[in-house]
Structure 1
Amino acid sequence: MTVLTEGAPVETAAPAPRRRIPVVRIVLPLLSVAVFLAVWQAVAAAGLWNETFVPQPITVWRAAVDMSSTHDGVVGYQGYLLWEHLYMTLRRVLAGVAVGVTLGVALGVAMGTVGWLRSILEPWLTFLRTLPPLAYFFLLVIWLGIDEAPKVTLLALAALPAAAIATTTAVAAAPIGLVEAARALGASRAQVIRDVVFPAALPETFTGVRLAVGMAYSSVVAAELFNGLPGIGGVVKDASNYNNTPVVLVGIAAIGISGLVIDGLLRAAERRAVPWRGKI
């Protein structure tokens, strides 16, 4: 765009067009949800299975409403509303993820830059990553009791390996040319790691963080096996004891939907922190 001034015309940059979200990215997910609900309703209405196993969507919706309100003097589920259960679970997950991701990223940077340290720690991280949460949760209960400590510790241990391994791989794969150029310009080892290696590793590190959050979420029910109320995992465990399938499905939906929201927030943070990712 040309702007006329008293002297020669001055070329100014045209405003960047706003990015528009394609309609298909909104319609397709909503369409998939509608198809899923229709198939679910059809299967439930066909009566192929007892409603204890496959309740109708409206039954699950009523359970969600009951869990979110006070009715006949009963507050939600086991004395807590649905949002209170979800809040306690998210608090545990975020605390565990914060500890696990912080330690995992720090270990990943150290392992990616110090070869002998990677040789020592990587087998242990792989060993921990392959263990199911229940394999060591009872040990944590023996050591730490049945309060919040074993729950947060379990979620941290679930999140740590994914963050550490992804960061290690990303740091080790930092462009050699950039590293050598920084060293040639007089940068110290710490400056190379801070200004070259870590920024180059950020995209894969974010992927590891997202995987770590997913691992922590997959361990929620195990973490809330003991003294898990209030908590969504505790709700799922308690309701399953009484074959209360609608409440179990509400709990599963609450975990899944909140996980989608958190993953969306992580994606948004990634786009801001690593705007060059996916661009040529």
Structure 2
Amino acid sequence: MEQPHTTRYRWLSWSVLIVILVAWWAVTTLHLVSGILLPAPQRVVTTFITLCQHGYNGVGLGAHYVITMARLLVAVVMAILIGVPLGLLSGYLPKVKALIDPVIQFIRPIPPLAYYTLLILWLGIGESSKVSLLFLAAVPPIYIACFDAVGKVNVEFLQSAASLGANAKQRFSHIVFPAAAPDIFTGVRSAVGVAYTTIVSAEMIASSTGIGWMIIDASHYLKSDVMFVGIIVLGVTGIALDWGIKALEHRLVRWSGRV
């Protein structure tokens, strides 16, 4: 549930946004910066409309957007389906931790772009390498959040359930998983953020579609207005994704903060 003071001071956030837009408009109107480096707001709006109507490189802006979001969605869903159970089981069962944790800890600090060329060699230049890159970027945050969540579970709850005859499977499904749910959503938010920041890298090599590719390709021809459109689209979408995950958490995890 949103805190009252957050709502009360929301006008500050809007004020900052308005100040940035006004400063942007003023700098470009007074020609303090070259239009190649910083296009005017009205030019960015015009470019956005043009891209919606005619597309970029023969592909509509909507199609570029859908392709990028599809890559992200597939990778994140795969990361959730694999990372959540592995993280919870590693925190709950020492044997699983001994098998899985070293692999995750090895992958976690490596920048995803470092092994992208290997993925291309192994999987080719198609969608598999791009989705795999995003998947490998998203798994560690989910795994770590789930693993740590199990460690936060109140031991007395588990002992009480065991004394009442609950087996390990029942204790996991009725105590560990519900208690870890808030942290699972935190891990998903982090994973989406990490994967989202990797999307440009995933689309910059051997690709001809996607918002990230559009930004990279436009930079080669100094089309800063197209770059700004892509960056703003990604920024707004990122905020919307994070808001959506938080809203889903508030709906599904109603007991968060109550125990």
Q: TM-score category by the smaller chain?
A: over 0.9
- Point out where structure 2 has 5 or more consecutive residues left out of the alignment: none
**Bigger Rg, which one:** 1
Contact 2:125 2:207 in 1 (8 A): no
Counterpart amino acid of residue 260 in structure 1: I
Counterpart in the other structure of 1:49:
33
- Amino acid in the other structure paired with 2:120: V
* In the alignment, structure 1 residue 147 sits paired with structure 2 residue 126: yes
Larger fraction in helix:
2
What is residue 274 of structure 1 aligned with on the other side?
Answer: 253
* Partner residue in 2 for 1:194: 173
CA displacement, residues 191-247 of structure 1 (integer Å, 9 cap, x when unaligned): 110110010011111100000000110110111123433210110111111111111
Q: AA paired with 1:155?
A: L
Kept in 2, the 8 Å contact 1:179–1:192? The answer is yes
RMSD of the TM alignment (CA)? Answer: 2.0
Aligned residues: 257
1:133 and 1:246 mapped to 2: Cα distance? 28
User: Which position in structure 2 is the counterpart of 1:96?
Assistant: 75
Cα displacement (A) at 1:22 = 7.5
Q: Alignment partner for residue 58 of structure 1, among 42, 47, 50? A: 42
For the residue of structure 2 that corresponds to 1:122, the secondary structure is: helix
3-state secondary structure, aligned to 2:42: helix
Instruction: Please state if 1:206 is matched with 2:190.
Output: no
Distance 1:22 1:210, change over 3 A: closer
Deviation (angstroms), 1:31: 2.4
Equivalence map 1:1-280=2 (5 Å) = 24=8, 26-69=10-53, 75-279=54-258
- 1:49 corresponds to which letter in structure 2? V
Deviations 1:161-188 (A, max 9, x none): 0000000000122110111111111111
> Residues 120 and 129 of structure 2 are in contact (CA less than 8 Å); yes or no, is this contact kept in structure 1?
yes
Question: What is the letter of the counterpart of residue 32 of structure 2?
Answer: L
Deviation at 1:55, TM superposition (A): 1.4
Indicate how the Cα distance of structure 1 residues 140 and 24 shifts in structure 2: closer, same or farther if over 3 A, else same.
same
**CA-CA distance at 1:23 after TM superposition:** 5.7
Give the letter for the 1:34 counterpart: I
CA distance in 1 between counterparts of 2:172 and 2:235 reads: 37
Identical pairs, percent: 37
> Do the aligned partners of residues 78 and 25 (structure 1) sit closer, same or farther apart at CA in structure 2, a change above 3 Å counting?
farther
User: Match for residue 14 of structure 1?
Assistant: none
Report the secondary structure of 1:219's partner residue. Answer: helix
Structure 1 residue runs of 4 or more that deviate by more than 2 Å after TM superposition: 19-32, 42-49, 115-124, 226-230, 276-280
Q: CA deviation at 1:144?
A: 0.6
Structure 1 residue 279 displacement after superposition: 4.8
Structure 1 distance, partners of 2:208, 2:27, is 32
Kept after mapping to 2: 8 A contact 1:85/1:229 = no
CA displacement, residues 7-53 of structure 1 (integer Å, 9 cap, x when unaligned): xxxxxxxxxxxx99976465333322211111222233343332211
TM-score normalised by the chain length of structure 1: 0.86
TM-score (norm 2): 0.92
Unaligned 5+ segments in structure 1 are: 1-18, 70-74
Q: d(CA) in 2 for partners of 1:42 and 1:111?
A: 55
Q: Distance between the aligned counterparts of 2:145 and 2:6, measured in 1?
A: 31
